[in-house]
């Protein structure tokens, strides 16, 4: 094989790789910019995030209780079910304070 052709071929491969990496970087920066414009800003301070986490945890706890009530293998009587629902209401009032 001719050494000049090998040199030209190597040069073409290197130039193609450099152009590919450059275009990839430009496209990535453009997409990141578009995402940053469309994404709402994060809330200031950790207090809001902590409040959201606490509310989420309370909702998950209530959901677990409701799932247990709904899927309990024993047949529940109305009085037992009413007592558990009333207990949930009491806990909700206590959490609201």
- Condensed to tens digits (0 to 9), the pLDDT of residues 11-54 reads 999 999 999 999 999 999 999 999 888 877 666 666 777 888 88
Query: pLDDT tens digits for 71-84?
Result: 776 655 666 777 87
Cβ partners under 8 Å of residue 95, min gap 6:
58
Q: What share of the chain is helix, strand, coil (3-state, %, to 5)?
A: 85, 0, 15
pTM over the 0.85 mark: no
45 DSSP 8-state letter: S
Closest residue by Cα to residue 86 from 94, 73, 60, 67: 94
């Amino acid at each position: 094989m001719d050494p000049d052709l090998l040199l030209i071929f190597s040069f073409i491969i290197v130039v193609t790789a450099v152009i590919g990496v450059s275009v990839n970087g430009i496209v990535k920066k453009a997409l990141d910019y578009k995402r940053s414009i469309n994404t709402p800003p994060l809330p200031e301070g950790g207090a809001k995030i902590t409040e959201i986490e606490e509310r989420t945890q309370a909702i998950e706890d209530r959901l677990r209780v409701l799932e247990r009530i709904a899927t309990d293998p024993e047949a529940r009587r109305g009085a037992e079910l009413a007592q558990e629902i009333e207990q949930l209401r009491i806990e909700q009032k206590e959490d609201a304070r």
